[in-house]
Amino acid sequence: MAVNRSYQQYQQNSVMTASPGELTLMLYNGCIKFIKQAMISIDKKDIEQTHNNIVRAQDIIMEFMSTLNMDYDVSQNLMQIYEFMKNHLAEANAKKDKAMLEEVLELVTDLRNTWNEALKLTRKNGTGWQK
């Protein structure tokens, strides 16, 4: 029990001290985790857990959508990708369709990897989302 509390404290500290760029990376990782858990829940025929994990992934996607600055072309492109993922997750949830989740997982993973590379470059160059 004490180990669990220590881990939760560590996670909370990680979030509180993370830069905006690192928080975004954490959200991508969380979305990936929830999609993978939903896929496992489908295999176990656990409908409630599948639903809960997909909804959590959708919540993260909607958070990304709400924070886009639509003054930039890249944000408009990302909005289309996020819309697709959100809708695909909803349909996957309704159908309990693992293949649809895999499609979204691939997109989220690609976005996460791209974001991670951008973070590495900003750290290397000393620019960007530093606190």
pLDDT 10s digits, 18-31: 888 999 999 999 99
Closest CA to 83 of 94, 68, 72: 68
Lookup: tokens for 64: 């990304």
pLDDT 10s digits, 28-76: 999 999 999 999 999 999 999 999 999 999 999 999 999 999 999 999 9
Structural domain tally of the chain?
Answer: 1
Assess if residue 109 is contained within a domain: yes
Assess if residue 36 is contained within a domain: yes
| pTM of the entire predicted model | 0.85
CA distance 66 to 77: 14
Question: For position 85, which CATH number holds?
Answer: 1.20.120.340
Give the residue carrying structure tokens 């985790």. 33
Assess if residue 10 is contained within a domain: no
Assess if residue 128 is contained within a domain: no
Q: Decide if 41 contacts 49 (C-beta within 8 A).
A: yes
Count CA within 13 A, CB hemisphere, residue 54: 29
Looking at residue 68, the DSSP 8-state letter turns out to be -
Assess if residue 6 is contained within a domain: no
Domain that holds residue 63: 20-122
